[in-house]
Amino acid sequence: MEYFEEIKNILHFITKDCSVVLFVTIIFAIYFYYTSTFDYFEKRGIKYMKPTIFVGNMGKRIRSKESFHAFQLEIYNYFKGNPFGGFFEGRKPILYILDAELIKAITIRDFDCFVDRNTINSRIPNYLKRSLLILKGSEWKGVRSIITPAFSSARLKNMLPLLQLCCKQLVEYLKQYDGKDLDMKDTLGHYTLETIGACAFGIKGDALTDENAYFIKVAEKFNEMPKMKRIFLLFLMVLAPQLLKYLNISFLNQESIKELVKTLKMVKAERRLTGDKKNDFLQLLIDAAETERKDSGTKAKLYLDDDTIDAQSLLFLLAGYETSSTLLSFAIHVLATKPELQEKLRDHVVKMTDGQDITYDLLSQLTYLEGFLLETLRMYPPVSRVDRTCVKKYILPGTSVQVNVNDVVAIPIYGIHMDPEHYPEPHEFRPERFMGDEKNTRPSHLFLAFGVGPRNCIGLRFAMFSAKLAMVTLLKNFKFTTCPKTRDPINFSKRAVLLKAEDGLWVQLDSL
């Protein structure tokens, strides 16, 4: 009996000891996995930010302690004086590029080595996965080349009547708020939804005539996500990004996107059934797809299938809505807080357009207005960082640093835009930076609001065209002043990735 009792005690000890060993082994394995990359930059002699296990250098962002724009500026200033620096998103090393010549090399001269964007690799539907933002390599190049003519000057000129109608509706919409305080981000969001709904989907969204219209209620929710789901996704991206490829998950509101796709498919089906054609982006895609099918051999790859058409239309709507409404609302905030600039810009617009029909060519002659909008984008870029993924082994020019395939490089847009070496007195708002000699002597790749190089924003001409038309309309009809809710300087939201004012962009509106 005692013999069996001793055996039992020995087995219990061994079992207990094995549990401890297993626990320690698991802890060590986890620690090793999440820190095994932390010597990546040290081995290469690159200055880097000291990482923390699990989160890397993302602690402030995960805890929402700092806006994404302020975070990018902090990173930029940390590495200032160095051509590049090392940063960790979780355990993933990201090489930040600061040097102007390296930025030019990566985005323009040696673009073929950095064709792809750094994207979330999840099982999202094709109507999201097939967008230009996500497509890679030859597929991106094929789709981009087909779509590019849709944004030619001739095409944009054909869209002018649609945009003018939207501007007329905007004036009528704003008149109901004469003498009142107004949050311009929400208000101008209605305008951009109406213009892009008309130019991308070919539908009348009633965003400026009915605040409860179905289209605006659906479209406005596209980036809404419960707080806990957003935190979960962020942690997943940092801690276990390899799991994303098994999940249908993104930062977009899937129900809203499904409804928008449903609307889009109905419009496409109706046009194909009736043969009705319109001067909008969707029609250009449909026509390009038909031309591609006719011109391609039976074995040739077709780039514009229905999912790809849907993806580009959605991208035009979602990206255009957010960026254009941000540009216009921040521009109005500048007008309200700098009345002398408002008067100067209004005089410029009135003088240049007095007695003339507004045309595409006339808008292109409003140089001070263009400088004003570009300076707004410099100080308030909707996106604060742009990424590229290396697709070929690459040696950074002038160094011995090798960038390997699948390595990610990042360019801190907001840091560059606020660098006094590139933009003297960067906190001063000066439209003249983008006019005459000052514009011509500064390298164009140091203005990154629309990206730069072959993979820049394909819709930048449309964005500037529609923004100029809206600004001309607003300046001719309204005056903007500060109100008790106006915040200057603006507090950026600490939770948003795209630029957003924490307290809104409130001004007082008065008819002229």
Task: Tell me: cis bond preceding 484? Omega within 30 of 0 counts.
Answer: no
- Cα 45 to its chain centre, rounded Å, is 32
Q: Which of 156, 196, 190 is nearest to 172 (CA)?
A: 190
Strands (E), 291-393: 386-389
**Burial classification of residue 429, based on how many CB atoms lie within 10 Å of its CB (0-12 exposed, 13-18 middle, 19 or more buried):** middle
Cβ-contact 415, 451 below 8 angstroms: no
End-to-end alpha carbon distance in the chain: 104
Cβ-contact 237, 90 below 8 angstroms: yes
In whole angstroms, give the CA distance from residue 18 to residue 495: 45
Cβ-contact 95, 37 below 8 angstroms: no
Helix (H), strand (E) counts: the chain: 21, 9
Check whether 483 is labelled as a binding-site residue.
no
Cβ-contact 390, 403 below 8 angstroms: yes
Cβ-contact 471, 373 below 8 angstroms: yes
Q: The tokens of 316 are what?
A: 């035009």
Cβ-contact 401, 44 below 8 angstroms: yes
- CB neighbours (10 Å) of residue 125? 16
Which CA distances in Å does 284 have to 26, 132, 289, 314, 465? 56, 16, 9, 14, 18
Q: Which of 491, 476, 486 is nearest to 508 (CA)?
A: 486
**Long-range Cβ contact pairs of 499-502 (< 8 A, separation 24 or more):** 499/69, 499/326, 499/330, 499/380, 499/381, 499/382, 499/383, 499/384, 500/185, 500/326, 501/185, 501/329, 501/330, 501/333
Residues placed in the known binding site for heme: 457
Residues placed in the known binding site: 457
